Amino acid sequence: MANISAQQMNYLKGALRQGVKMETVAAKLGLSVSATRKLIKRETSEPSPRSWTPAKDRLLKKLYVLESWDALLSTFAGHSQDAIRKRANLLNVKRDASLVSAAIVKESRAVQKNSNFTLKPCMSCNNDFLSDHKFNRICKGCKQIGSGVTSYKVAL
């Protein structure tokens, strides 16, 4: 892909607004017509909603430490839980288990007043989560990524 200077990019944008022929613009920039078209497409295309932008990275750094997976998945719609984990790992952002547990305990106390939810450790990741019945032992995050317990040890 051709790289051009900021001055050449300004010329390209201005020439396109004025309706200058593509061949003329390409010759002025010293590029082929196809390279010029690719350059225009690259510069005018919108980023994919699934791509990570610097703004999304900053938001991930703030939210990843304390927010639940449900909140993270709704904030970063289009990204899977695994993609969020990988990006956080790439950015060297770690979840503080004690802070997350404290936030979950606080949330669970509010929920328990109005329902039958209880705070339990997940059998897969060992993080605390709100269980809605006594046989629910895997958190939503582990269920979503399919990393739930795949084998059970039976003590005889």
Q: Tell me the pLDDT of the chain averaged across its residues.
A: 75
Q: Burial letters for 45-83: b for 16+ Cβ neighbours within 10 Å, e otherwise?
A: eeeeeeebeeebeeebeebbeebbbeebbeebeebebee
- Residue 50, classed as helix, strand or coil, is coil
- For residue 17, the model assigns a pLDDT of 82
- For residue 151, the model assigns a pLDDT of 52
Nearest Cα to Cα of residue 139 among 79, 89, 81: 81
- For residue 5, the model assigns a pLDDT of 82
Tokens describing residue 122? 């997940």
pLDDT over threshold 80, residue 104: no
- For residue 115, the model assigns a pLDDT of 55
State the number of CA atoms in the 13 A half-sphere of 79 facing the CB.
Answer: 25
- For residue 48, the model assigns a pLDDT of 63
Q: How confident is the model at residue 100 (pLDDT cuts 50, 70, 90)?
A: low
Tell whether pTM > 0.95: no
- For residue 152, the model assigns a pLDDT of 47
**Between residues 113 and 119, the one the model is more confident about:** 119
* Best mean pLDDT range from 34-38, 40-44, 142-146, 148-152: 34-38
Tokens describing residue 113? 């007043």
- For residue 148, the model assigns a pLDDT of 45
Q: What percent of the chain has pLDDT over 90?
A: 0
In the chain, where the domains are located: 6-44, 54-90, 108-145
| 96 contact partners, CB below 8 Å, separation of at least 6 | 65, 66
Q: How confident is the model at residue 39 (pLDDT cuts 50, 70, 90)?
A: confident
Give CA separation, 26 vs 3, 14, 16, 33, in Å.
Answer: 13, 13, 11, 5
Q: How confident is the model at residue 128 (pLDDT cuts 50, 70, 90)?
A: confident
